[in-house]
Amino acid sequence: MKMSELFGQTLREPPADAQITSHRLLVQAGFIRQLGAGIFSYLHLARRSMTKIENILRDEINAIGGQEITMPVIHPADIWKETERWYQIGSEMGRFYDKNNRDMVLAMTHEEVVADLVRGEIQSYKQLPRLLYHIQTKWRDDPRPRAGLIRVREFTMKDSYSLDTDWEGLDAQYRAHYQAYFDIFHRCDLPVVAIKSDVGMMGGKIAHEFMYLTPIGEDTLLICDECGYMANRQIARFKKPVSAKEDPQPTEKVATPGITTIKGLAEFLGLPESKTAKAVFTIATVTEGQEDVEKFVFAIVRGDMDLNETKLTNAVKAKSLRPAIDEEIRAIGAVPGYASPIGIKDAIIVVDDLIPDSANLVAGANDEGYHLLNVNYGRDYRADVVEDIVVAEDGCACLNCGAPLHSSKGVEVGNIFKLGTRYSESMDCTFLDENGQAQPVVMGSYGIGVGRLLACVAEKYHDEYGLIWPITIAPYHVYLVALQGGKETAERVYADLQSANVEVLYDDRDERAGVKFNDADLIGIPIRLTVSKRSLKAGGVELKLRRSPERTVIPQDEIVTHVIDQIEVLETEIASKVIPMPYTD
């Protein structure tokens, strides 16, 4: 490709709305252009890199038995109603009517479509296991698209779906994906970690996220350097500090005028915050049949800890949570700032699993200006749900080894889910087993976002001058620069490299040397060749790696061989990183 013919151009000034480096550089280097909030066009350079990523995805999923198919972007809502996700997913789902006034859905994922295919194609255990995948456009109407390609509304994903007769088969396919995902990311030269995560709207039993650790990430991970435990903060567990055993004492009502915070209460009474009970009030939206209803949730955690809303959402099987307002709090018999679970009505009471082992806590008295001393779970009140519902923080003890956890930010670049029979049971996807009995197909779901992966690689590999692409996903292998006195030779080098199947972006423009070198650095192609009067006088063509300041002059008749050898060296470096990874539950 000649730069004089390339659609699109590099930009000297960064986009005004760019918040992170990858967004800025991908726009300035002419890879992407924004059409609307979270909606991008991918220009020629980006398309070439994304195609290389997609082919890596195909290689690795094919290697574990995948069969590529293509499923629609537009779905009839009926299949989403069968699984009830039509009712459970909020405004991020793209809904519309067709001309016959039927409910339709813009694809945000394809579990329902796969299940519909399965119930039409699979009849016998002899047809299982199977692994299907596709690379397809998705739509999720994110209310806060940001950071360029990191958080968008329209995106391309590789989704694969495993189909098995039993959980043992699912376990095998899940672990195969676990390794394949590391191989994919390592072939793209992106370091990642795999962590346990919340199953979210996908449902199922177990999920892992593959995270690129970076300060720009919106996910917070809790990590133990001693034993290797890692989990998303949404579900991370830790060894909770249990209070010393005490005999329950009689409750005592004490005046605490104007004291409405845990910190203020502890200081006023001269007690540690761990001797208090913190009340958190939310309204949960839960689905009952095909209707959404609101339920008041009264959650209690120890005063030195904070509520984890994801854990609470899962504990009460809610679609969503929102804070309760004062009128709603008073309606259940509680008093804002002075609330206690004692004597309340019409609420789901949820307590953290540390509360039953924490004796004689201070809680609200449900009376303005008063608290109760020595409130004890079991004697004074009981809960509908006892579950871990608190946030893991920096310094918390690892659940496995007791070492302190530390937090790190990350971007999710892939995920894998053990769906089990969540979709097959709701959509009647069964097969006949060896005894002729109908059994539900056991499913797994596995996704990787192509554009987000591209952006994370750009975020990882750059310097003050521009992008630095790994050879495996660079849009071209070579950036060829023709300067004064070298145009005729550069044309021959360009033709020779193309004949040898070397991918070349040839800067044949009538521009100053500084402009061409700046664009070469900005675009970030791994190998730069410069042909000029000066290089020819020095003996040939100047070769420079984008990642290195060193320059070497190669004789013209050796340049093709030298470039091919250099490409092989760069590819071998990346291939050496593709190694077996231990599976962690």
pLDDT digits (tens, 9 = 90+) for 316-371: 988 889 999 999 999 999 999 999 999 998 999 999 999 999 999 999 999 999 99
Specify if 164 maps to a domain: yes
In whole angstroms, give the CA distance from residue 405 to residue 399: 9
At 160, the pLDDT band (50, 70, 90 cuts) reads: very high
- Residues 442 and 482 both lie in one domain: no
Spatial strand order of the sheet with 361-364 comes to: 252-255, 370-375, 361-364
- Say yes or no: 58 and 182 in one domain: yes
Alpha helices (H) in 461-532, listed in sequence order: 487-499, 513-523
CA 385 to chain CA centroid, nearest Å: 29
For 420-428, what is the mean pLDDT?
A: 94
Q: Which residue has the tokens 């694969």?
A: 160
- Which of 312, 275, 314 is CA-nearest to residue 297? 312
Domain count, the chain: 3
Do 446 and 320 sit in the same domain of this protein? no
Residues 454 and 157: beta-carbon distance below 8 Å = no
Q: Which two tokens stand for residue 542?
A: 């100047």
Specify whether the CB–CB gap between 416 and 178 falls below 8 A.
Answer: yes
Residue 242: pLDDT over 90: no
Nearest residue to 495 via CA among 510, 474, 480, 484: 480
Q: Which of 336, 371, 387 is the last residue of a domain?
A: 387
Beta bridge partners of 281: 298
Do 134 and 63 lie in one domain? The reply is yes
- C-alpha torsion angle, residues 281, 287, 289, 295 (rounded to 10): 10
The pLDDT of residue 288 is 81
Q: What is the pLDDT of residue 320?
A: 85
**Measured over all CA atoms, what is the biggest interatomic distance in the chain, rounded to whole angstroms?**
96
Question: Which residue has better confidence, 84 or 32?
Answer: 32
Apex 352 CA angle, 347 and 354, nearest 5: 145
Element spanning 164, H or E:
strand 154-164
pLDDT of the residue at 200: 61
- Could you tell me the residue range of the domain that residue 75 belongs to? 15-186+422-459
202 has a pLDDT exceeding 80: no
Structure confidence at residue 523 (pLDDT): 98
Per residue in 271-281, pLDDT (tens digit) is 999 999 999 99
Give the mean model confidence (pLDDT) for residues 445-473.
98
Mean local confidence (pLDDT), 3-20: 94
Residue 510 is which amino acid? D
Residue 201: per-residue pLDDT: 52
Instruction: Tell me the per-residue pLDDT of 108-130, one tens digit each, with 9 for 90 and over.
Output: 999 999 999 999 999 999 999 99
Average pLDDT in the 389-412 region?
95
Burial class, 190, CB count within 10 angstroms (exposed 0-12 / middle 13-18 / buried 19+): buried
Tokens of 332: 């259940």
Residue 117: strand pairing partners? none
User: Domain holding 505: CATH number?
Assistant: 3.40.50.800
Structure tokens at 457: 């690689």
Same structural domain, 39 and 157: yes
The domain spanning residue 327 has which CATH number? 3.90.960.10
Segment 519-533, tens digit of pLDDT: 999 999 999 999 999
pLDDT of residue 22: 98
In three-state secondary structure terms, 500 is: coil
Give dist(CA 399, CA 379) in Å, integer: 29
Angle, helices 559-575/487-499, rounded to nearest 10 degrees: 50
> Would residue 224 count as lying in a domain?
no
> Residue ranges of the alpha helices (H) in 528-580?
533-538, 559-575
DSSP code per residue over 220-232: EEEE-TTT--EEE
Question: What local confidence, expressed as pLDDT, does residue 436 receive?
Answer: 97
Q: Are residues 24 and 173 in the same domain?
A: yes
For residue 239, pLDDT beyond 70: yes
Q: Are residues 32 and 74 in the same domain?
A: yes
177 and 36 part of one domain = yes
What's the token pair of residue 447? 């996704």
Average pLDDT of the chain to the nearest whole number = 95
Does residue 188 contact residue 56 with C-beta atoms inside 8 Å? yes
Do 500 and 444 share a structural domain? no
Average pLDDT over residues 269-293: 91
What span, in angstroms and rounded, lies between the C-alpha atoms of 199 and 136?
A: 22
pLDDT of residue 90: 85
Same structural domain, 288 and 374:
yes
Q: Are 61 and 134 in a shared domain? A: yes
Question: Hey, what are 306's tokens?
Answer: 């904070």
User: Is residue 346 situated within a structural domain?
Assistant: yes
- The answer to whether position 96 is within a domain reads yes
How, if at all, do strands 466-467 and 462-463 pair? antiparallel
Mean pLDDT for 156-182 is 97
Residue 434: CATH number of its domain: 3.30.930.10
Residue 480 within a domain = yes
Helix, strand, coil share (%) of the chain residues, nearest 5: 30, 30, 40
In this structure, are 67 and 168 located in the same domain?
Answer: yes
Specify the residue for token string 């871990």. 388
Please choose, from the candidates 239, 178, 238, the residue with its C-alpha nearest in 3D space to the C-alpha of residue 206. 178
Query: Which whole number is the average pLDDT over 560-574?
Result: 98
At 482, the pLDDT band (50, 70, 90 cuts) reads very high
Rounded alpha-carbon distances, angstroms, from residue 563 to 3, 106, 164, 311:
20, 46, 47, 54
Look at residue 223 and tell me if it is in a domain. Answer: no
- 429/113 Cα distance (integer angstroms): 12
- Residue 9 domain-assigned (yes or no): no
Q: Does residue 204 have a pLDDT over 90?
A: no
Alpha carbon of 283 to those of 318, 346, 385, 501: distances in Å? 9, 12, 16, 62
Name residue 267's amino acid: E
Is 30 in a helix, a strand, or coil? Answer: coil
**How many beta carbons lie within 10 A of that of residue 365, not counting itself?**
24
The answer to whether the peptide bond before residue 129 is cis (omega within 30 degrees of 0) is yes
Of 369, 387, 405, the position where a domain reaches its end is 387
Considering the domain boundaries, does residue 176 fall inside one?
Answer: yes
Name residue 39's amino acid.
I
Contact (CB, 8 A) for 310 and 343? no
What is the Cα–Cα distance from 338 to 109, expressed in whole angstroms?
44
pLDDT band at 197 (very low <50, low <70, confident <90, very high): confident
Alpha-carbon gap, residue 327 to 330, rounded angstroms: 5
Residue 198 has pLDDT above 90, yes or no: no
- 3-state SS, residue 509: coil
Of 384, 478, 422, give the one whose Cα is nearest residue 204: 422
Percent of the chain past pLDDT 70, that is, above it, reads 99
pLDDT at 205 over 80: no
